[in-house]
Amino acid sequence: MTLLTLALLAGCIQTVHIPGASPRDTATAGDTGSSDTANDTDSGDVDTDPGNCSNGADDDGDGWVDGGDPDCASGSNEVGYGTATCNDGLDNDGDALVDASDPDCADGNGSEGGASSGTCANGIDDDGDGWVDGADPDCASGSDEVGYGTATCNDGLDNDGDGAIDASDPDCAEGGGSEGSASSGTCTNGIDDDGDGWVDTYDPDCAVGPDEVGYGSATCNDGLDNDDDGVTDASDPDCADGNGSEGTASSPGTCGNGMDDDGDGWVDVADPDCTSGSDEVGYGAATCNDGRDNDGDAVTDASDPDCADGNGEE
């Protein structure tokens, strides 16, 4: 190759313009880029990212957003639950609401169940005793409902035996009240509280106290069919009330009730028993009242046409 050829090649080296680049972003032909002077490198850049305390999102899932999250008071990022009772993920006041969902919490720095709220102002029966907020005796001595107490309207028991307990008992206006007090008892509630068939003042118990307590000694209140007429106490027409008597002289025992009380086939005065007393008591000596087929005609006593009544003879 001649010296003239080498000179011509050397003259071909020139500056190359890169489309879209500024005049300083240029390279000579054959440039590898190792000597770029571009000013868009990342080294030494200043971080201007404002964190996640101003993006309108609950980044840590604790219910609080941006300035409402305690994390944003001490840093620029939401990082999770904290120690404040409005930001710990717990239902601290037992009202079934947690942190941001609890109306006690204005922000994540607040407190659930403080003295100003507790469980006595949330409209909920927190201890399951039937009483809510101010009607619960617990709220007279504190700010939280904590369970049953000693008052008979708040002890979980049916103290007056009327089938209704505490808040369900009409005797109880509030949890501090009393079931079965002298002013009410079970003698004015329209219920047969002791199951003897008599209600309120018809029950002999109510003549001596404010409560119905069970059977007594009167034959109309002892649970027995004293006159053997098949009906007992309150069901017996002889009894006007629980103080009455079954089978008194004014009602002739079982000899005037239209029933075959002793099953011998004879009713009332047709039964030989009623000639000697006021009750039918069973078979007798007469052949029409001994339970036998005395004449062998296959019919017995009241079924035998020979017998006009129990005193007859087959």
Report if residue 299 sits inside a domain.
Answer: yes
What is the pLDDT at residue 247? Answer: 65
The mean pLDDT of the chain is: 77
Who wins on pLDDT, 204 or 15? 204
Total structural domains within the chain: 2
Report if residue 298 sits inside a domain.
Answer: yes
Choosing from 56, 87, 118, the residue where a domain stops is 118
Choosing from 78, 98, 118, the residue where a domain stops is 118
What is the pLDDT at residue 288? Answer: 93
Report if residue 61 sits inside a domain.
Answer: no
Rounded to two decimals, what is the model's pTM?
Answer: 0.27
Each residue of 292-314: pLDDT tens digit? 889 999 999 999 999 998 889 99
Report if residue 85 sits inside a domain.
Answer: yes
What is the pLDDT at residue 274? Answer: 86
Each residue of 59-98: pLDDT tens digit? 888 899 988 889 898 888 988 888 888 998 888 877 788 8
Who wins on pLDDT, 218 or 51? 218
Predicted confidence band of residue 23 (pLDDT cuts 50, 70, 90): very low
Range of the domain at 282: 270-314
Report if residue 223 sits inside a domain.
Answer: no
Of the candidates 134, 154, 64, which has an alpha carbon nearest to the alpha carbon of residue 106?
64
Report if residue 18 sits inside a domain.
Answer: no
What is the pLDDT at residue 50? Answer: 56
Report if residue 16 sits inside a domain.
Answer: no
- Sign of torsion, CA 106 112 117 119? positive
Report if residue 98 sits inside a domain.
Answer: yes
